[in-house]
Amino acid sequence: MEVMFGWIARLSRQPRDEASHIEFQLPQSYGTAVIHFLYRMLQDRAVAEELAVEVFLRLYRSSAGSSDRSDIIAQLFRVATDLALSGLRNSNSQSIREQSVDSLGSARRAVALLPGKQRAAVLLHKYHHMGYRQIAQVLNCRESAARSLLCAAYATLRRRLAAADRKLTGLSSESTRFQNELDPLQQIG
């Protein structure tokens, strides 16, 4: 990973303002998180690593000048989300994505099969511990829209995981009614 972002380290030695200095620290601090986010979005490690470099390159080029770390992190994940959604649109093949998630567990498969923006919202919420406001900044939408995306995504995940659970256990929906207190999203990891 250090080799991948080495060009940023070389550039960071050049005198720049404080906002740019924060941008140069981001690959070391958030490189792995961005790669994992992109991998969970695209289900392809090599593409995720290539896009992660592109994310930091675009962030460096844009140099918005904000010294607020939370704004830069939101911008970082906004760029990563845009590139991932663009990659999903360009692949334009649900069957390829379904084939690539066959080996995943049922919870991860359920997340991987969500529509792009819902998947991004869930990943940002679950793995990066972002609130509605931050997710809205990343997805470039209103906070209420981010809340709706998460609500719809979690409802879909609960239905899919409950159906997968019934299928595995062979139990009817009446016999699994008592299990509704347990959140099937706990399986995501």
At 121 the pLDDT is 94
Q: Is 164 helix (H, G, I), strand (E, B) or coil?
A: helix
Looking at the whole model, is its pTM more than 0.75?
no
Are residue 109 and residue 166 in the same domain, yes or no? yes
**Closest of 112, 104, 90, 100 to residue 38, by C-alpha:** 112
Let me know: does 155 contact 186? Beta carbons within 8 Å.
no
Q: Are residues 114 and 185 in the same domain?
A: yes
- Cite the beta strand spans of 104-174 per DSSP E: none
CATH number where 147 lies: 1.10.10.10
Q: Are 5 and 32 members of one domain? A: yes
Domain region containing 2? 1-92
d(CA 88, CA 48): 12
State whether 119 and 55 are in the same domain.
Answer: no
Which of 61, 92, 123 terminates a domain? The answer is: 92
Same domain, residue pair 14 and 78? yes
**DSSP letters for 3-14:** TTTHHHHHHHTS
Longest CA pairwise span in the chain (Å): 66
Write out the chain's pLDDT in tens, 189 residues: 554 555 445 544 444 554 455 555 767 788 899 999 999 998 888 999 999 999 988 888 776 555 566 678 888 899 999 999 888 877 654 444 555 555 467 788 888 889 999 999 999 999 899 999 999 999 999 999 999 999 999 999 999 888 887 777 776 555 445 455 455 555 554
Q: Is residue 28 part of a domain?
A: yes
Q: How many distinct structural domains can be found in the chain?
A: 2
d(CA 117, CA 114): 8
Asked which of 50, 66, 92 is the last residue of a domain, the reply is 92
Structural domain contains residue 98: no
